[in-house]
């Protein structure tokens, strides 16, 4: 078989193998709900909720576009226990501690430690990808869709790659399986880990509290805080108080104008003293008075 055929074969085998776990967990959840043990309270609309013993989210496992969501959707109650007992209490390397505890919990077959060790490294790299790479794909809907498709595809192939050792258990069988796939996901993960060390984290700029908005025919007076007013008229470098306003003229030139907002009648100089961003609009004739 070709490399692609081996990947598709592994994907099909592991998809079928997961159904025995789906059957056991969903049947157990149904029995607990029938006995009333799965009742967890009421939602905001007053409807009863029966998810206390829900242990798997099939949709999250099969269709998630995030490796973390994929892992969190499997054996959910055990993950909650691991998060509270191990992750929240480990002084350092929380993720590695959780995966090490999970491997020890499953037993002493080498496959468990290979699978969880690989999963820990891939989770760390996936977290860095989301932190450093994902913001670059959020600038447009098309880029966001492309990123979602890419991560969805990656999760579909990463899941069986990490879970196959649970079926073979022995070290030799795990080695032959990974060798037949050229250790491609391990190599990509290690390369990504090294490369991401040199990739800076994008800064998330904070939007200004208010902005001066106008067009050529209908300029507006916008109530502004000192930082925004200074940004509008950076050439003057003026420090304004909270009752200052940025006035955009018809010629596109930004000037600073102090608006003496009234307190008794709610108006001053014909400008409504509202608490919104746009407190008044001036026509072309009035704009020349600014």
75 is a catalytic site residue: yes
- Active-site residue, selected from the candidate residues 106, 159, 247, 275: 106
Residues 61-98 as b/e (b if ≥16 CB within 10 A, e otherwise) read beebbbbeebbbbbbbeebeebeeebeeeeeeeebbbb
Count of helices and strands (H, E) across the chain? 12, 8
Residue 101 contacts residue 116 (beta carbons within 8 Å): no
Strand, helix or coil for residue 56: strand
Tokens 């009333």 belong to residue: 36
Give ∠ CA 225-207-268 in degrees, rounded to 5. Answer: 25
- Distance, CA of 261 to CA of 265 (rounded, Å): 10
Give ∠ CA 189-191-194 in degrees, rounded to 5. Answer: 110
Residue 259 contacts residue 221 (beta carbons within 8 Å): yes
Residue 78 contacts residue 103 (beta carbons within 8 Å): no
- Active-site residue, selected from the candidate residues 75, 159, 218, 247: 75
User: In what helix (H) or strand (E) does residue 17 lie, and over which residues does it extend?
Assistant: helix 3-34
Burial class (CB in 10 A: 0-12, 13-18, 19+), 171: middle
Instruction: Please identify every residue annotated as catalytic.
Output: 75, 106
């Amino acid at each position: 078989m070709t490399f692609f055929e081996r990947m598709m074969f592994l994907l099909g085998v592991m998809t079928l193998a997961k159904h025995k776990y789906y059957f056991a967990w969903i049947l157990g959840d149904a029995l607990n709900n029938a006995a009333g043990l799965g009742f967890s309270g009421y939602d905001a609309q007053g409807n009863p909720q029966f998810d206390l013993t829900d242990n798997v989210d099939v949709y999250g496992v099969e269709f998630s576009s995030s490796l973390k969501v994929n892992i969190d959707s499997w054996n959910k109650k055990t993950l909650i226990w691991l998060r509270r007992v191990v992750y929240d209490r480990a002084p350092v390397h929380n993720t590695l501690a959780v995966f090490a505890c999970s491997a020890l919990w499953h037993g002493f077959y080498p496959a468990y430690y290979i699978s969880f060790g690989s999963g820990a490294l891939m989770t760390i790299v996936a977290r860095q990808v989301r932190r450093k790479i994902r913001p670059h794909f959020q600038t447009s809907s098309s880029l966001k869709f492309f990123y979602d498709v890419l991560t969805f595809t990656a999760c579909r192939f990463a899941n069986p790659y990490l879970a196959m050792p649970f079926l073979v258990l022995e070290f030799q069988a795990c080695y032959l399986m990974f060798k037949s796939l050229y250790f491609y996901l391990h190599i990509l993960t290690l390369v990504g880990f090294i490369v991401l060390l040199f990739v800076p984290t994008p800064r998330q700029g904070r939007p200004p509290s208010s902005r001066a908005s106008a067009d050529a025919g209908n300029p507006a007076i916008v109530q502004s805080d000192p930082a925004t007013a200074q940004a509008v008229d950076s050439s003057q470098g003026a420090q304004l108080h909270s009752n200052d306003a940025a006035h955009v003229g018809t010629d596109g030139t930004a000037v600073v104008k102090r608006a003496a907002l009234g307190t008794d009648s709610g108006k001053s100089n014909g400008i409504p003293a509202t608490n919104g961003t746009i407190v008044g609009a001036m026509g072309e004739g009035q704009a020349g008075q600014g």
